[in-house]
Protein backbone atom coordinates (compact mmCIF):
# COMPACT_ATOMS: atom_id res chain seq x y z
CA UNK A 1 0.00 0.00 0.00
CA UNK A 2 1.39 3.34 -1.04
CA UNK A 3 2.00 6.00 1.58
CA UNK A 4 0.12 9.25 1.06
CA UNK A 5 0.45 12.64 2.71
CA UNK A 6 -2.05 15.46 3.05
CA UNK A 7 -0.15 18.44 4.49
CA UNK A 8 -1.99 21.28 6.23
CA UNK A 9 0.05 24.01 4.56
CA UNK A 10 2.84 24.67 2.09
CA UNK A 11 5.54 24.64 4.76
CA UNK A 12 4.51 21.15 5.86
CA UNK A 13 4.33 20.03 2.23
CA UNK A 14 7.91 21.18 1.67
CA UNK A 15 9.06 19.37 4.81
CA UNK A 16 7.39 16.12 3.67
CA UNK A 17 8.87 16.58 0.22
CA UNK A 18 12.37 16.95 1.69
CA UNK A 19 12.02 14.02 4.09
CA UNK A 20 10.21 11.51 1.89
CA UNK A 21 10.61 12.76 -1.71
CA UNK A 22 6.91 12.00 -2.12
CA UNK A 23 5.65 12.89 -5.59
CA UNK A 24 3.21 15.81 -5.67
CA UNK A 25 -0.29 15.16 -7.03
CA UNK A 26 -2.46 18.21 -7.75
CA UNK A 27 -5.28 17.43 -10.22
CA UNK A 28 -4.26 13.81 -10.67
CA UNK A 29 -5.32 13.78 -14.32
CA UNK A 30 -1.95 12.47 -15.52
CA UNK A 31 -0.86 10.36 -12.56
CA UNK A 32 -4.21 8.63 -12.01
CA UNK A 33 -4.16 7.49 -15.64
CA UNK A 34 -0.51 6.47 -15.75
CA UNK A 35 -0.73 4.33 -12.61
CA UNK A 36 -4.30 3.12 -12.91
CA UNK A 37 -5.04 -0.48 -12.14
CA UNK A 38 -8.10 -2.73 -12.37
CA UNK A 39 -11.46 -1.34 -11.27
CA UNK A 40 -11.86 -1.51 -7.51
CA UNK A 41 -8.11 -1.79 -6.88
CA UNK A 42 -5.62 0.87 -5.88
CA UNK A 43 -3.61 2.87 -8.41
CA UNK A 44 -0.07 1.46 -8.54
CA UNK A 45 1.95 4.51 -7.58
CA UNK A 46 5.62 3.50 -7.41
CA UNK A 47 6.40 6.15 -4.78
CA UNK A 48 4.70 7.95 -1.88
CA UNK A 49 2.19 10.58 -2.96
CA UNK A 50 1.86 14.14 -1.66
CA UNK A 51 -1.59 15.69 -2.15
CA UNK A 52 -1.26 19.43 -2.79
CA UNK A 53 -4.49 20.47 -4.51
CA UNK A 54 -6.07 21.78 -1.30
CA UNK A 55 -3.18 24.08 -0.33
CA UNK A 56 -4.51 27.64 -0.36
CA UNK A 57 -0.99 29.09 -0.78
CA UNK A 58 -0.92 27.57 -4.28
CA UNK A 59 -4.35 28.78 -5.35
CA UNK A 60 -3.66 32.44 -6.05
CA UNK A 61 -3.56 34.05 -9.47
CA UNK A 62 -3.01 37.70 -10.26
CA UNK A 63 -0.93 40.44 -11.86
CA UNK A 64 2.26 41.56 -10.16
CA UNK A 65 5.14 43.76 -11.21
CA UNK A 66 6.93 41.04 -13.17
CA UNK A 67 3.86 39.54 -14.81
CA UNK A 68 0.90 37.28 -14.24
CA UNK A 69 1.47 34.83 -11.39
CA UNK A 70 -0.41 31.56 -11.58
CA UNK A 71 -0.22 29.39 -8.46
CA UNK A 72 0.60 25.72 -8.95
CA UNK A 73 -2.81 24.72 -7.59
CA UNK A 74 -4.81 26.90 -10.00
CA UNK A 75 -6.90 24.73 -12.30
CA UNK A 76 -7.03 24.96 -16.07
CA UNK A 77 -10.70 26.05 -15.84
CA UNK A 78 -9.71 28.95 -13.62
CA UNK A 79 -7.10 30.08 -16.16
CA UNK A 80 -9.65 29.69 -18.97
CA UNK A 81 -11.86 32.24 -17.19
CA UNK A 82 -9.05 34.62 -16.12
CA UNK A 83 -9.37 37.81 -18.14
CA UNK A 84 -5.80 38.85 -17.30
CA UNK A 85 -4.33 35.66 -18.78
CA UNK A 86 -2.80 35.99 -22.28
CA UNK A 87 -5.19 35.22 -25.12
CA UNK A 88 -3.03 32.38 -26.51
CA UNK A 89 -2.86 30.68 -23.11
CA UNK A 90 -6.61 30.89 -22.59
CA UNK A 91 -7.13 29.53 -26.10
CA UNK A 92 -4.78 26.60 -25.45
CA UNK A 93 -6.27 25.79 -22.06
CA UNK A 94 -9.84 25.91 -23.38
CA UNK A 95 -8.98 23.21 -25.92
CA UNK A 96 -7.31 20.88 -23.42
CA UNK A 97 -9.21 17.71 -22.49
CA UNK A 98 -12.83 18.50 -21.49
CA UNK A 99 -14.51 20.61 -18.78
CA UNK A 100 -14.44 17.99 -16.00
CA UNK A 101 -10.72 17.37 -16.50
CA UNK A 102 -9.98 21.08 -16.76
CA UNK A 103 -11.70 21.46 -13.39
CA UNK A 104 -9.05 19.15 -11.92
CA UNK A 105 -5.90 19.61 -13.99
CA UNK A 106 -3.38 22.38 -13.33
CA UNK A 107 -0.98 24.31 -15.53
CA UNK A 108 1.86 23.34 -13.18
CA UNK A 109 0.95 19.68 -13.68
CA UNK A 110 0.96 20.11 -17.44
CA UNK A 111 4.48 21.58 -17.21
CA UNK A 112 5.75 18.95 -14.74
CA UNK A 113 4.40 16.15 -16.93
CA UNK A 114 6.99 17.48 -19.43
CA UNK A 115 5.28 15.88 -22.41
CA UNK A 116 6.39 17.16 -25.81
CA UNK A 117 2.66 17.18 -26.63
CA UNK A 118 1.68 19.33 -23.64
CA UNK A 119 -0.59 21.93 -25.23
CA UNK A 120 -0.05 24.70 -22.71
CA UNK A 121 3.72 24.16 -22.74
CA UNK A 122 4.01 25.24 -26.39
CA UNK A 123 2.29 28.54 -25.51
CA UNK A 124 4.38 29.01 -22.36
CA UNK A 125 7.56 28.71 -24.46
CA UNK A 126 6.29 31.47 -26.72
CA UNK A 127 5.34 33.64 -23.74
CA UNK A 128 8.82 33.26 -22.12
CA UNK A 129 7.12 31.88 -19.02
CA UNK A 130 9.07 31.05 -15.91
CA UNK A 131 8.43 28.65 -13.05
CA UNK A 132 9.21 29.10 -9.37
CA UNK A 133 10.62 26.03 -7.64
CA UNK A 134 10.49 26.16 -3.88
CA UNK A 135 12.16 24.06 -1.19
CA UNK A 136 12.82 24.57 2.49
CA UNK A 137 16.15 26.13 1.48
CA UNK A 138 14.55 28.82 -0.66
CA UNK A 139 13.14 29.40 -4.12
CA UNK A 140 14.63 29.57 -7.59
CA UNK A 141 13.11 30.79 -10.82
CA UNK A 142 13.86 29.12 -14.14
CA UNK A 143 12.37 29.50 -17.60
CA UNK A 144 9.94 26.81 -18.74
CA UNK A 145 12.29 25.92 -21.57
CA UNK A 146 15.19 25.30 -19.19
CA UNK A 147 12.91 23.46 -16.78
CA UNK A 148 11.82 20.85 -19.34
CA UNK A 149 14.92 18.94 -20.40
CA UNK A 150 13.38 16.12 -22.45
CA UNK A 151 10.27 13.95 -22.77
CA UNK A 152 9.09 13.46 -19.18
CA UNK A 153 12.35 14.93 -17.85
CA UNK A 154 12.59 18.12 -15.86
CA UNK A 155 14.91 20.15 -13.69
CA UNK A 156 13.09 19.56 -10.39
CA UNK A 157 15.04 18.49 -7.32
CA UNK A 158 13.46 15.87 -5.10
CA UNK A 159 12.96 18.35 -2.26
CA UNK A 160 11.35 21.02 -4.45
CA UNK A 161 7.77 21.85 -5.37
CA UNK A 162 6.69 24.00 -8.28
CA UNK A 163 4.78 26.77 -6.55
CA UNK A 164 4.20 29.45 -9.17
CA UNK A 165 4.25 30.15 -12.89
CA UNK A 166 5.13 33.65 -14.04
CA UNK A 167 4.10 35.00 -17.42
CA UNK A 168 5.97 38.25 -18.12
CA UNK A 169 3.93 41.24 -19.30
CA UNK A 170 3.76 41.55 -23.08
CA UNK A 171 1.22 42.68 -25.64
CA UNK A 172 0.85 41.15 -29.05
CA UNK A 173 -1.05 42.48 -32.03
CA UNK A 174 -1.02 39.07 -33.76
CA UNK A 175 -1.88 35.90 -31.88
CA UNK A 176 -2.21 32.50 -33.46
CA UNK A 177 -2.75 29.26 -31.56
CA UNK A 178 -3.73 26.02 -33.22
CA UNK A 179 -4.05 22.55 -31.79
CA UNK A 180 -4.33 19.76 -34.32
CA UNK A 181 -5.98 16.68 -32.86
CA UNK A 182 -8.25 13.86 -33.95
CA UNK A 183 -11.33 15.34 -32.32
CA UNK A 184 -12.22 18.57 -30.58
CA UNK A 185 -12.43 17.36 -26.98
CA UNK A 186 -10.27 14.91 -25.08
CA UNK A 187 -7.71 14.54 -27.85
CA UNK A 188 -3.98 14.56 -27.29
CA UNK A 189 -2.31 16.79 -29.87
CA UNK A 190 -0.87 15.57 -33.10
CA UNK A 191 0.91 18.91 -33.00
CA UNK A 192 0.34 22.40 -31.67
CA UNK A 193 1.46 25.80 -32.88
CA UNK A 194 1.72 29.15 -31.16
CA UNK A 195 2.87 32.32 -32.88
CA UNK A 196 2.84 35.80 -31.38
CA UNK A 197 3.88 39.06 -32.94
CA UNK A 198 3.83 42.74 -32.20
CA UNK A 199 4.16 45.28 -34.96
CA UNK A 200 5.21 48.90 -34.65
CA UNK A 201 5.17 51.50 -37.43
CA UNK A 202 4.83 48.79 -40.08
CA UNK A 203 7.69 46.66 -38.81
CA UNK A 204 7.96 43.53 -36.70
CA UNK A 205 8.80 44.64 -33.17
CA UNK A 206 8.50 41.28 -31.37
CA UNK A 207 7.86 37.78 -32.66
CA UNK A 208 7.82 34.34 -31.04
CA UNK A 209 7.06 31.08 -32.85
CA UNK A 210 6.75 27.71 -31.07
CA UNK A 211 5.85 24.23 -32.27
CA UNK A 212 4.65 21.47 -29.92
CA UNK A 213 4.79 17.69 -30.40
CA UNK A 214 7.30 17.86 -33.25
CA UNK A 215 10.44 17.00 -31.26
CA UNK A 216 11.59 15.85 -27.81
CA UNK A 217 10.78 19.33 -26.48
CA UNK A 218 8.97 22.35 -27.92
CA UNK A 219 10.78 23.87 -30.92
CA UNK A 220 11.51 27.59 -30.81
CA UNK A 221 14.35 29.43 -32.53
CA UNK A 222 15.64 32.73 -31.21
CA UNK A 223 18.02 32.93 -34.14
CA UNK A 224 15.24 32.85 -36.72
CA UNK A 225 13.02 35.15 -34.66
CA UNK A 226 15.88 37.66 -34.52
CA UNK A 227 16.07 37.62 -38.32
CA UNK A 228 12.40 38.60 -38.45
CA UNK A 229 12.76 41.59 -36.13
CA UNK A 230 12.59 44.93 -37.87
CA UNK A 231 11.22 43.51 -41.13
CA UNK A 232 8.48 45.39 -42.97
CA UNK A 233 5.93 43.76 -45.30
CA UNK A 234 8.27 43.72 -48.30
CA UNK A 235 11.23 42.32 -46.33
CA UNK A 236 9.04 39.60 -44.89
CA UNK A 237 7.62 38.73 -48.28
CA UNK A 238 11.14 38.34 -49.67
CA UNK A 239 12.17 36.12 -46.76
CA UNK A 240 9.12 33.85 -46.52
CA UNK A 241 10.78 30.87 -48.12
CA UNK A 242 14.04 31.32 -46.21
CA UNK A 243 12.16 31.40 -42.89
CA UNK A 244 10.13 28.37 -43.98
CA UNK A 245 13.39 26.52 -44.74
CA UNK A 246 14.88 27.50 -41.36
CA UNK A 247 12.02 25.82 -39.51
CA UNK A 248 11.91 22.92 -41.97
CA UNK A 249 15.46 22.10 -40.88
CA UNK A 250 14.56 22.35 -37.17
CA UNK A 251 11.39 20.30 -37.03
CA UNK A 252 11.97 16.59 -36.53
CA UNK A 253 8.72 14.88 -35.59
CA UNK A 254 8.23 11.15 -35.09
CA UNK A 255 5.67 8.57 -36.16
CA UNK A 256 3.52 7.36 -33.29
CA UNK A 257 -0.04 6.16 -32.65
CA UNK A 258 -1.42 9.70 -32.96
CA UNK A 259 0.12 10.83 -36.22
CA UNK A 260 2.98 10.51 -38.64
CA UNK A 261 6.19 12.50 -38.93
CA UNK A 262 5.32 13.56 -42.48
CA UNK A 263 1.89 14.87 -41.50
CA UNK A 264 3.17 16.69 -38.43
CA UNK A 265 5.90 18.43 -40.37
CA UNK A 266 3.60 19.44 -43.22
CA UNK A 267 0.96 20.86 -40.88
CA UNK A 268 3.60 22.73 -38.86
CA UNK A 269 5.00 24.41 -41.93
CA UNK A 270 1.53 25.16 -43.31
CA UNK A 271 0.56 26.90 -40.08
CA UNK A 272 3.85 28.81 -40.09
CA UNK A 273 3.34 29.94 -43.70
CA UNK A 274 -0.23 30.99 -42.99
CA UNK A 275 0.84 33.03 -39.97
CA UNK A 276 3.63 34.80 -41.85
CA UNK A 277 1.49 35.45 -44.93
CA UNK A 278 -1.20 37.03 -42.74
CA UNK A 279 1.50 39.10 -41.10
CA UNK A 280 2.68 40.35 -44.52
CA UNK A 281 -0.88 41.51 -45.27
CA UNK A 282 -1.30 43.26 -41.95
CA UNK A 283 2.09 44.95 -41.62
Partner 1 sequence: MSTITFRLNEKNISLEADPASRLLDLLREDLGLSAVKEGCGEGECGACSVLKDGVLVNSCMVPVGTIEHCSIETLEGLRETDEGRCIIEAFADTGAVQCGFCTPGMVMASIALLRSNARPTLEEIKVALSGNLCRCTGYDMIIKGVQLAAERGDGIW
Residue closer to partner 1, measured from CB, 12 or 155: 12
User: How far apart are CB 251 and partner 1 at their closest, in Å?
Assistant: 29
Pick 53 or 130: Cβ nearer partner 1: 53
Q: Is 33 in the site for partner 1 (CB under 8 A)?
A: yes
- Span 185-204, contacts to partner 1 by CB under 8 A: 185-186
Q: Is 46 in the site for partner 1 (CB under 8 A)?
A: no
Q: If binding is defined by CB under 8 A, does position 237 make contact with partner 1?
A: no
The reply on whether position 7 binds partner 1 by CB under 8 A is no
The three-point CA angle 186-190-195 to 5° equals 100
Q: How far is the CB of 184 from partner 1 (least distance, A)?
A: 7
56 binds partner 1 (CB under 8 A): no
Q: How far apart are the first and last CA of the chain?
A: 61
Q: Is residue 83 near partner 1 by the rule CB under 8 A?
A: no
243: exposed, middle or buried (Cβ count in 10 Å: 0-12, 13-18, 19+): buried
Stretch that binds partner 1, among 12-20, 181-189, 204-212, 250-258 (CB under 8 A): 181-189
Which range touches partner 1 (CB under 8 A), out of 41-49, 58-66, 146-154, 192-200? 41-49
Q: Which of 9, 21, 32, 139 binds partner 1 (CB under 8 A)?
A: 32
**Residue 87 φ/ψ, nearest 5 degrees:** -55, -45
For residue 172, what are the contacts with CB-CB under 8 A and spacing of at least 6? Answer: 86, 87, 88, 196, 197, 198, 206
d(CA 60, CA 58): 6
Give min distance, CB of 2 to partner 1, in A: 5
Which of 9, 21, 54, 84 is in the footprint of partner 1 by CB under 8 A?
Answer: 54
Other CB atoms within 10 A of residue 139 CB: 12
Identity of the residue, 21 or 252, whose beta carbon is nearer to partner 1 in the bound complex: 21
Residue 149 dihedral angles phi and psi, to the nearest 5°: -105, -10
Least separation, in Å, of the C-beta of 41 and partner 1? 8
CA distance 154 to 120: 16
List the one residue from 62, 99, 150, 152 that touches partner 1 (CB under 8 A).
99
Which residues, at least 6 apart from 143, have a Cβ–Cβ distance to it below 8 Å? 128, 129, 130, 131
* Closest CB 95 distance from partner 1, rounded Å: 10
In 21-52, alpha helices (H): 31-34
Going by C-alpha positions, the residue among 86, 4, 91 that lies closest to residue 42 is 4
Distance from the Cα of residue 50 to its chain's centroid: 23
Q: Does 25 bind partner 1 (CB under 8 A)?
A: yes
The edge-to-edge listing of strands for the beta sheet with 67-71 is: 61-64, 67-71, 161-167, 130-135, 138-143
151 in contact with partner 1 (CB under 8 A): no
Provide the binding-site residues for partner 1, judged by CB under 8 A: 1-2, 4, 6, 25, 27-29, 32-33, 36, 39-40, 42-43, 45, 49, 51, 53-54, 77, 97-101, 103-104, 184-186
Amino acid sequence: MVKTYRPENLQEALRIRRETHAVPLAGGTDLMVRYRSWAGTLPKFPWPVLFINHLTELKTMGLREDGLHIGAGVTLSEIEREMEAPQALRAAVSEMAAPALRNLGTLAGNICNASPAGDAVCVLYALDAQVVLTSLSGARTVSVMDFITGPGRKDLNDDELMTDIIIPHANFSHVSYRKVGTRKANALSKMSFCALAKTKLGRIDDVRIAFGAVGPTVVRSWETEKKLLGMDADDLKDHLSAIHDDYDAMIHPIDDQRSTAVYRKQVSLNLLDQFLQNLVKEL
